[in-house]
Amino acid sequence: MNPRNLLRRAGLAIAAAPQPLSGGDMGRVWRVGDYVVKSHPNPPAGMFAAEKRGLEELASRGARTPHVYWAGAEGIVLEYLPPGPDNWAGLAEMLARLHSSPSERYGGLQPAFIGSLPLESGSDHNWPRFWREKRLLPLLTLTAPQLGPLAARVEEFINAYDWPAEGPRLIHGDLWNGNVLMSSRGPALIDPSAWNGERAVDLAMMRLFGGFAPALWQAYQEALPMPLQIRDALEAYQLYFLLVHVHFFGSGYVPSVRRILSRYKAL
């Protein structure tokens, strides 16, 4: 989809030539003047509407996000946030505020996606049951061919591990460093996979691929301390994102899945 066409559908004036932006693993992204335009060659129904809803929900809980001008079946038009200086303390404060805001149940915000993959719908008061049945086990089904014999061990771990819980919170859901912007207005979150879960899910993804300065972790721990039980479980929670990566990018992530199992083999 031509980004100019999406801007016309949004009823916005076009004064600049489209410039491709990075971050388009699941589609195409352009800057067009004051706007960011995203599209996908074959988007699943509801994907961009879910992104709009997720950004607005995060903003309602105190997170900075780009304004959404328009979302349709083919794409989404967002506010362009100019780059600014790193502000790790500001990001920590924003995440602590988000992770301090309670929700009633796990799940919700339907439909939800991670990338272009639809997530299982539903809600539950029971975190281990929701996490297993609506997140991990569906991913295991999708990735079993790539995992091969390891799939049985993954299933055993998913069912046997005592997943710690602090209570439902709205989470970003895909919080790697590429989904954080250090903008001129302060840190901002983009490309959410927002749903009500455990904050450990966000923290696990932040640790998985790195890119967050030690100052962020120090400030976050001061603002909203992580109990030892949560800190010890972060690698286990990374299993979710590793299975997502196996699904999208292939068996190169299988050794990382095996590492998680080895880390907790004594349990």
169 touches 103 (CB < 8 A): yes
For residue 266, the model assigns a pLDDT of: 43
For residue 1, the model assigns a pLDDT of: 67
Is there a catalytic annotation at residue 174?
yes
53 touches 108 (CB < 8 A): no
Structure tokens at 167: 């209570």
Give the pLDDT confidence of 4-42 residue by residue, as tens digits.
Answer: 889 999 999 887 899 988 765 667 999 999 999 999 888
- pLDDT class of 173 with cuts at 50, 70, 90: very high
- Supply the mean pLDDT for the chain: 94
- Average confidence (pLDDT) over 60-81: 96
Q: Is the pLDDT of residue 192 over 60?
A: yes
For residue 108, the model assigns a pLDDT of: 86
Domain range summary for the chain, segments of one domain joined by +: 1-80, 81-267
The active-site residue, picked from 34, 86, 162, 174, is 174
Maximum Cα–Cα distance across the chain: 61
CATH number for 1-80 (one of 3.40.50.720, 1.10.4080.10, 3.40.50.360, 3.30.200.20): it is: 3.30.200.20
For residue 155, the model assigns a pLDDT of: 97
Give the pLDDT confidence of 86-104 residue by residue, as tens digits.
Answer: 999 999 999 999 999 999 9
Q: What is the CATH number of domain 81-267?
A: 3.90.1200.10
Helices and strands: H and E segment counts in the chain:
10, 13
% of residues, the chain, pLDDT over 70: 97
Asked if residue 44 has a cis previous peptide bond (ω within 30° of 0), the answer is no
